[in-house]
């Protein structure tokens, strides 16, 4: 049987352990730790290993946060991202955005038709370059950009399908340019653009 002195010592020890656990539990969670949850689809450093998910390394932080918030609210259509995004606070999203932005972007290695890619380069310059500068590559000193260059073609196709079928909202400028391109080139124009973005390796 424990004496009063031993009980006091035991109570004190438990209290100290509890304080230690409490401080560990409340320790600041880093962007890298949070980003680890994304590795299954987007790769450990944000470079996707599969064709259905985009690479998000070097992504503009503003675009990252706004995209995740649009998934949270349901403003942007998704299959699984809407559920996943709801698990994060704005502060956590900002930490993740900073982490991914600091990672080196690696374009997906995928086959493409060179002749089609050459035609796509011309279409990009005519219809897309103003909003997706430098062929859609990550930009160092710019804000509010989306990465197209080197993204998996299946992902680009799925996303464009969402836009065309009104599951995702296009801004007026994008809609106008896309409609002009489709009227002039048809779906072949989209195929050429996809080949061009795939060629950016």
Per residue in 44-69, pLDDT (tens digit) is 899 998 999 999 999 999 999 999 99
Distance CA 190, CA 12 (A): 69
Q: How confident is the model at residue 1 (pLDDT cuts 50, 70, 90)?
A: low
Rama region for 76: left / alpha / beta (φ>0; ψ in -120 to 50; rest): beta
Does the pLDDT value for residue 22 go beyond 90? no
pLDDT at 140: 81
pLDDT at 4: 55
Q: How confident is the model at residue 35 (pLDDT cuts 50, 70, 90)?
A: very high
Over the chain, what is the mean pLDDT? Answer: 89
pLDDT at 143: 81
Task: Tell me the mean pLDDT in the region 98-122.
Answer: 97
DSSP-derived letter for residue 126 is I
Whether the CB-CB separation of 48 and 54 falls below 8 Å is answered with yes
In tens, the pLDDT along 144-199 reads 899 999 999 999 999 999 999 999 999 999 999 999 999 999 999 999 999 999 99
Give Cβ neighbours of residue 47 (< 8 Å, ≥ 6 apart): 55, 57, 103, 105, 106
Tokens coding 154: 């299946």
């Amino acid at each position: 049987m424990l004496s009063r002195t031993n009980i006091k010592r035991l109570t004190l020890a438990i209290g100290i352990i509890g304080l230690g656990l409490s401080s560990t539990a409340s320790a600041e969670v880093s962007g890298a730790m949070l980003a680890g949850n994304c590795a299954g689809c987007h790769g450990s450093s944000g470079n996707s290993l599969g064709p259905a998910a985009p690479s998000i390394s070097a992504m503009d932080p503003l675009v990252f946060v706004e995209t995740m918030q649009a998934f949270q609210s349901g403003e942007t259509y998704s299959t699984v991202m809407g559920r996943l995004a709801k698990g994060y606070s704005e502060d956590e999203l900002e930490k993740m955005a900073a982490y991914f932005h600091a990672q080196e972007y690696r374009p997906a290695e995928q086959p493409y038709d060179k002749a089609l890619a050459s035609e796509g380069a011309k279409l990009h310059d005519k219809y897309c370059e103003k909003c997706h500068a430098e062929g859609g590559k990550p930009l160092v000193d710019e804000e509010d950009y989306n990465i197209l260059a080197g993204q998996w073609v299946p992902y680009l196709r799925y996303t464009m399908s969402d836009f065309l079928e009104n599951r995702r909202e296009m801004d007026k400028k994008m809609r106008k340019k896309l409609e002009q391109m489709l009227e002039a080139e048809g779906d072949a124009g989209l195929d050429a653009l996809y080949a061009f973005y795939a060629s950016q390796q």
